[in-house]
Amino acid sequence: MVVEEIRGKSGGENGNYDNFPVGMRVLAVDDDPTCLRLLETLLRKCQYHVTVKSQAREALQILRENKDRFDLVISDVHMPDMDGFKLLELVGLEMDLPVIMLSANSDPKLVMKGVTHGACDYLVKPIRIEELRNIWQHVIRRKKFDSGKQNKCTDQINNCQASGQGQMSLMTGNVDQNGKFNRKRKDDDDESEDNGDENEDPATQKKPRVVWSIELHRKFVAAVNQLGIEKAVPKRILDMMNVEGLTRENVASHLQKYRLYLKRISSVATQQANMAAALGIKDSPFVRMSSLDRLGDFRNLAGSGRFANTALSPYSANGMLGRLNSPGGVNLHNLTSSALIQPNHAQNLSNSMSNAGKFHPVITPGSQNGSLFQGSLEMDQLQKNKCTTEITNFNSMDDSRMFTAASAFTNTGEAIGSSSNYLNGDPNNLMMLHGNSQQALSGGFGNQSSLNMASFNAESLNGGVGQSSNFLDHGKFNETWQTIQLPKVQSNTLFSAEHLQDQLPLNTVRDNNSSNSPHLQNNPLDISSTTMASRPLEDSRGEIQFQEGLVGQNSDTIFGSFDFNIPANGNLPPSSKSLDQSTGIFNRKMEMVVNSRLPGGASTLMQRNEIEQSNTDSRRSNENFLLEQAKLQGGFVSQSYGSLDDLVNAVVKRV
Amino acid sequence: MERNLHRQLANMKKSLFDQGYLDEQFIQLEELQDAANPNFVEEVVTMYYRDSARLIQNIDHALEKNPLDFAKLDNYMHQFKGSSCSIGAKKLKNECTQFKEYCETGNGEGCKRTFQQVKKEYAALKKKLEHYFQFARQVGPVEKACRPK
C-alpha cells in the first residue's frame, strides 16, 4: 500500500504539477486573520493553490482526512489552540509533509526550536513574497529523499523548474539517511513486489521505500542483539535477518538510525533522571525534555541525515546504551543516576526512560520508518515475555496493561525506539518509553510536549515475572499515542503520564478504557482513539500484537514501540524500584512511531498513549515507586502514574 | 483634475511613509492588489483594526492587574506586533518592540507608558489610513503601487 501510495502520489504529482511549483498545494495556518489573509494572498500570487485554516486543529483534521491533499504546510508558531511546534511535529510525524514555520519573533532560540522540531524553514513576519517564491524547494527536496536512498532522483530534478535547479543540489545530501525504507514487509506481502519495487526503474520519480515493519525491525533488532551492538555490522545483520530483498544499504541505514536512537534514549534517560531529581515528586511536571528536540533530532536524522546533534549532545548519556543486551533487568538505578538528561528544552519531556536494563532503543529513522520500533520491541516483548505492563501491585488491577506508547510524535517523526532488550527474552526487560515531547505534562502544564514516561512494573509478565510493572505511558500527546508494549517488567516503572495539553490530568485513569477516552476526546485529532484499557496481560499482549499488526499494516508507519525498562526488581515498594525504573522511561512517542505516512491515511501509528497513565499513578505502589522515582528523577510523572490499569494504551490505529 | 487627485493621493501616501507611519510592507500589500483583489489593502487594514481592537483591550485589562503578568502581556503584544507589522505599521511596530522589551525586564511602568504610546500611534494611524482610503476611493482604481521617493 505504501508503495502504491507513493506511486500514486508521485504520479498524481507529476500529473498535476507539470508546471511545478505552479499549483503546489499549500495549507496555511495562522490564528491571526490579518496575517492569514495576507499570507493567502501572497501565496496565491505565487500561483500556489492555497487552503487556509485559522485553527491548528482544523488544519490537522483536514490533513488527516487526506494526506495527499497538500504538498506543504505553513504554520504560525504562536497559536492559541495549539503550539505551532507541536503542529509541526505532528504533521511531520503523521503526514511527513514539509512544514514551514512563521513567526513575528526572530529569536534564534525559536528558530532553533523550529529546526529541531523538524521544520524545513522558518520565516519571520512580515513575510515578503520573495521568500515564498522559493518554498517549493522543500517539497521537492523531501520527495527526492523519500524516493529511496538508492536512487537519486535526478529525474525529479529535471522536473523542477529551471529556477530551482540550483537547489537540487540539496538533494545530493544523505539520501541514504533520509531515505525511508519503504518496503512493505508484511507477512502477506509478496516479496516479489518488494523486489519489484527495488528494481524499479531509477527514472521513476518515486522509489518505493523500504518500510521497516515491526517484524522486520524485530528481526533486525534480534540480529543486532545477537551480534552485539558494537559488532553489529550491516552485512552480518543482513545475513542473520535473512530477509529477501533487503539490501545491505537498507540495513546500514537502518542501523545508523537505530544507533542514534539508542544514543538518544540514553541521553534522554539521563536527562529525565536529572529532571526528575530536580523536580518535585508529586508535581513534577513533565519536564519536557527536549522530547521535541529529540523528535526533531531524530527527524533530522532521518530526514536530512543529520543526526540530531542538538539533542544528543547536551546529554550525557550514561551508559544506557551500554546496557543493551544486558540481561536481567538492569536496574534503573543506573539509569536514574546517570541518565537523567538535562532537559534541553524546558518544554518537552520526551525522554524515555532508559532502561534499567537493556533496551534497544530502536532508532526509528526519522519519520518514516517507525515500524522498526514497533515491531521489534513490542513484538518481541510480547511474544517473549508475556509481559505487558501490569502492575500487579496496583491496587486493584491485576491485569497488566499494555501500554501502547503511541507516541504521536510530532512531525519529527521520531521513532521511539523500543528497547529491544526484550528480544532476548530477558526477563527483566525494561521498557522504555520514550516520552514524546508532544506529551503535555501531566501536571497540566501548558506545555505541549509532555513527557511520557512510562514506568511500569510489569508485574507478572508472562507469569514469570513477579514484578509489577507499571507501565505508564503518558504520552498524552494529543495526537497519537503509541502503544507500548511492556515487556515483563519486573520493577515498576514510572511514567509520567503525559497529558494532553488541553486535557485534564488523567487522574482518573484508573479504569480501563475510560481514561483514555477522555483524553482522546480532547484531541480533536481523529487519531484513532487511544483507548487505554487496562487489560490483563493477555490482553495486552494481544493488543500489542494487534498493534503489531497495525504496524505491519501501515507499511510506513513507524511504530515506536516502547519498551519499558523495568527495573529488575519489580517490587512495588517504591524504595527500591523507584530508581530503577522509570525515570528513564519515556514514551517516546515521538519517535517514530508514527510514520507520517500511515497507510490508509490513518494516522495510525499514532497511538496515543493516554495519559491515563498518569491516572494510574495514583494507585499502586508503583505510584509510590514512581513518586520516588519522580523524586529522583525530578519529578517525573508521578502523576502520570495513574493506575497502571489505565496504562492501557489505546492503540489507535487509523485504518 | 484627475491627475491632481492622483497626485494628491500619491502625496498623501508619501507623507505617511516619510513620517514613518508606514513601511515597505505596505507597499507589498499594494502590490498584491490587482484585478482579483481590487480592494485588498483596505480589506486587510480593516481586518487588522477590527481584530487588533480586541488585543488592545486585552492588554489594557492585563495592565490593570496587579501584579502584572508579564508573560501574558508579552503574549498579547506578540500577537499585536505580528499583525501590525503585517500591514506595515512602522511606528507601531517599534512601540510594540519597546513594550516587549519592558515585559522582558519586568518593567511595569515602562510597559504602561509604552502602551499609552502604542495606543496613540494606533489611533493616529487608523485615522490617517481611513482618510487615505477614503480619498483613494474617490480617486478611483489606484494605479500600480510605486515606491515613494
For B85-114, how does the pLDDT look when each residue is reduced to its tens digit (9 = 90+)?
999 999 999 999 999 999 889 888 988 999
Kindly state whether A126 is in contact with chain B, defined as any CB-CB distance less than 8 angstroms.
yes
> What residues of chain B lie within 8 A of the CB of A35, using their CB?
82-83, 86
Kindly state whether A104 is in contact with chain B, defined as any CB-CB distance less than 8 angstroms.
yes
- Chain A residue whose CA is closest to B33: A41
Place A332 in a pLDDT band, splitting at 50, 70 and 90.
Answer: very low
| pLDDT of B145 higher than 60 | no
Kindly state whether A99 is in contact with chain B, defined as any CB-CB distance less than 8 angstroms.
no
Compute φ and ψ for A589, nearest 5 degrees: -70, -40
| pLDDT of A627 higher than 60 | no
How many angstroms away from the CA of B122 is the closest CA of chain A? 16
Q: Tell which wins on pLDDT, A347 or B15.
A: B15
How many angstroms away from the CA of A236 is the closest CA of chain B? 55
* Inter-chain residue contact B81 with A104, CB threshold 8 Å: yes
DSSP-H helix ranges across B22-89 = 24-32, 40-64, 70-87
The H-or-E segment that residue A389 falls in is strand A389-390
Kindly state whether A128 is in contact with chain B, defined as any CB-CB distance less than 8 angstroms.
yes
Which residues, at least 6 apart from A222, have a Cβ–Cβ distance to it below 8 Å?
A240, A376, A380, A420, A423
User: Kind of pairing, strands A400-401 and A389-390?
Assistant: antiparallel
| Spatial distance between the Cα atoms of A335 and A353, rounded to a whole number of angstroms | 8
Kindly state whether B44 is in contact with chain A, defined as any CB-CB distance less than 8 angstroms.
yes
* Inter-chain residue contact B86 with A103, CB threshold 8 Å: no
| Spatial distance between the Cα atoms of A218 and A376, rounded to a whole number of angstroms | 3
> What residues of chain A lie within 8 A of the CB of B88, using their CB?
126
Q: What is the DSSP track for A12-60?
A: HHHHHTTTTTTT-EEEEE-S-HHHHHHHHHHHHHTT-EEEEESSHHHHH
- Chain B residue whose CA is closest to A45: B32
* pLDDT digit string, tens, across residues A153-197: 444 444 444 444 444 444 443 444 444 444 444 444 444 444 444
Residue A374 contacts residue A558 (beta carbons within 8 Å): yes
> What residues of chain A lie within 8 A of the CB of B40, using their CB?
41
Matching residue, cell 483591550? B57
What's chain A's average pLDDT? Answer: 54
Mutation target among B24, B26, B27, B28 for the A interface, most CBs of A within 10 A = B28
Which residues, at least 6 apart from A247, have a Cβ–Cβ distance to it below 8 Å?
A150, A198, A238
- Chain A residue whose CA is closest to B38: A41
| Spatial distance between the Cα atoms of A492 and A572, rounded to a whole number of angstroms | 6
Q: Which three cell numbers stand for residue A618?
A: 495514583
Q: Residue A32: which of B36, B75, B83 has the nearest Cβ?
A: B83
> What residues of chain B lie within 8 A of the CB of A76, using their CB?
82
pLDDT for res A21: 78
Residue A349 contacts residue A437 (beta carbons within 8 Å): yes
Map residue B13 onto helix, strand or coil. Answer: helix
Query: Quick one: average pLDDT of B122-132?
Result: 92
Q: Residue B86: which of A45, A105, A126 has the nearest Cβ?
A: A126
Using alpha carbons, list the distances in angstroms from residue B144 to A459, B17, B22: 74, 17, 17
* Inter-chain residue contact A128 with B28, CB threshold 8 Å: yes
* Inter-chain residue contact B82 with A45, CB threshold 8 Å: no
Among the listed ranges A23-27, A372-376, B62-66, which one has the minimum average pLDDT value? A372-376
Interface of A with B in 306-345 (CB under 8 A): none
Q: What is the dihedral of CA A35, A41, A47, A50, to 10 degrees?
A: 60
Which of A431, A488, A436 has its CA nearest to residue A610? A436
| pLDDT of B18 higher than 50 | yes
* pLDDT digit string, tens, across residues A496-548: 333 333 333 334 334 444 333 333 333 343 333 333 333 444 444 433 333 33
CA A247 to chain CA centroid, nearest Å: 25
- Spell out a b/e string for A354-363, using b for 16 or more CB atoms within 10 Å of the CB, else e: bbbbbbbbbb
User: Kind of pairing, strands A49-53 and A25-29?
Assistant: parallel
Q: Give the dihedral sign, CA A586/A589/A591/A593.
A: positive
Query: Quick one: average pLDDT of A482-500?
Result: 38
* Inter-chain residue contact B78 with A41, CB threshold 8 Å: no
Q: Residue A34: which of B31, B75, B86 has the nearest Cβ?
A: B86
Which of A143, A145, A151 has its CA nearest to residue A173? A145
pLDDT for res A531: 38
Matching residue, cell 542501523? A255
CB pairs under 8 A between A and B: 57
Kindly state whether A235 is in contact with chain B, defined as any CB-CB distance less than 8 angstroms.
no
Place A206 in a pLDDT band, splitting at 50, 70 and 90.
Answer: low
Which residues, at least 6 apart from A6, have a Cβ–Cβ distance to it below 8 Å?
A146, A147, A182, A206, A207, A208, A209
* Inter-chain residue contact A37 with B44, CB threshold 8 Å: yes
| Spatial distance between the Cα atoms of A534 and A512, rounded to a whole number of angstroms | 4
Kindly state whether A35 is in contact with chain B, defined as any CB-CB distance less than 8 angstroms.
yes
Q: Tell which wins on pLDDT, A235 or A208.
A: A235
Residue A17 contacts residue B31 (beta carbons within 8 Å): no
Interface of B with A in 83-142 (CB under 8 A): 83, 85-88
Q: Residue A34: which of B32, B75, B87 has the nearest Cβ?
A: B87
Query: Quick one: average pLDDT of A574-590?
Result: 40
pLDDT for res A211: 76
Beta-strand ranges (E) seen in A479-594 are 482-483, 498-499, 563-564
Q: Which three cell numbers stand for residue A603?
A: 494516522
Which residues, at least 6 apart from A330, have a Cβ–Cβ distance to it below 8 Å?
A323, A355, A356, A357, A358, A428, A430, A565, A567, A568, A580
| pLDDT of A477 higher than 90 | no
Kindly state whether A32 is in contact with chain B, defined as any CB-CB distance less than 8 angstroms.
yes
Q: Which three cell numbers stand for residue B105?
A: 525586564
Which of A428, A404, A384, A408 has its CA nearest to residue A540? A404
Q: What length does chain B have?
A: 149
Give me Rg for the CA atoms of chain A. Answer: 21
Kindly state whether B71 is in contact with chain A, defined as any CB-CB distance less than 8 angstroms.
no
Which residues, at least 6 apart from A580, have a Cβ–Cβ distance to it below 8 Å?
A329, A330, A331, A332, A333, A334, A335, A336, A356, A491, A566, A567, A568, A569, A629
Hey, which residues does A72 pair with through a beta bridge? A26
pLDDT for res A233: 85
Q: What length does chain A have?
A: 655
State if pTM tops 0.95: no
Which residues, at least 6 apart from A306, have a Cβ–Cβ distance to it below 8 Å?
A174, A177, A300
Q: Tell which wins on pLDDT, A577 or B53.
A: B53
* Inter-chain residue contact A37 with B83, CB threshold 8 Å: no
Kindly state whether A133 is in contact with chain B, defined as any CB-CB distance less than 8 angstroms.
no
Kindly state whether B39 is in contact with chain A, defined as any CB-CB distance less than 8 angstroms.
no
Kindly state whether A172 is in contact with chain B, defined as any CB-CB distance less than 8 angstroms.
no
Kindly state whether A131 is in contact with chain B, defined as any CB-CB distance less than 8 angstroms.
no
Kindly state whether A40 is in contact with chain B, defined as any CB-CB distance less than 8 angstroms.
no
* Inter-chain residue contact B83 with A35, CB threshold 8 Å: yes
Which of A205, A208, A176, A215 has its CA nearest to residue A193? A208
* Inter-chain residue contact A32 with B51, CB threshold 8 Å: yes
| Spatial distance between the Cα atoms of A62 and A60, rounded to a whole number of angstroms | 5
- Chain B residue whose CA is closest to A124: B82
pLDDT for res A251: 86
Compute φ and ψ for B71, nearest 5 degrees: -65, -45
How many angstroms away from the CA of A103 is the closest CA of chain B? 8
Which residues, at least 6 apart from B57, have a Cβ–Cβ distance to it below 8 Å?
none
Q: Residue B79: which of A37, A45, A78 has the nearest Cβ?
A: A78
pLDDT for res A273: 67
Using alpha carbons, list the distances in angstroms from residue A631 to A103, A174, A269, A278, A489: 37, 42, 14, 8, 21
> What residues of chain A lie within 8 A of the CB of B75, using their CB?
78
Kindly state whether A377 is in contact with chain B, defined as any CB-CB distance less than 8 angstroms.
no
The vertex-A341 CA angle with A340 and A342, nearest 5°, equals 120
Q: Residue A34: which of B51, B75, B78 has the nearest Cβ?
A: B51
Compute φ and ψ for A139, nearest 5 degrees: -70, -45
pLDDT for res A569: 41
| pLDDT of A125 higher than 80 | yes
| Spatial distance between the Cα atoms of B101 and B7, rounded to a whole number of angstroms | 40
Which residues, at least 6 apart from A169, have a Cβ–Cβ distance to it below 8 Å?
none
Kindly state whether A203 is in contact with chain B, defined as any CB-CB distance less than 8 angstroms.
no
| Spatial distance between the Cα atoms of A553 and A185, rounded to a whole number of angstroms | 9
> What residues of chain B lie within 8 A of the CB of A104, using their CB?
78, 81-82, 85
Kindly state whether B32 is in contact with chain A, defined as any CB-CB distance less than 8 angstroms.
yes
Q: Tell which wins on pLDDT, A492 or A644.
A: A644
* Inter-chain residue contact A35 with B88, CB threshold 8 Å: no
How many percent of chain A have pLDDT more than 70?
Answer: 29
Which residues, at least 6 apart from A382, have a Cβ–Cβ distance to it below 8 Å?
A388, A485, A487, A540, A541, A544, A545, A548
> What residues of chain B lie within 8 A of the CB of A125, using their CB?
82, 85-86
Q: Tell which wins on pLDDT, A4 or A112.
A: A112
Q: Residue A416, Cβ neighbours under 10 Å: how many?
A: 52
pLDDT for res A76: 93
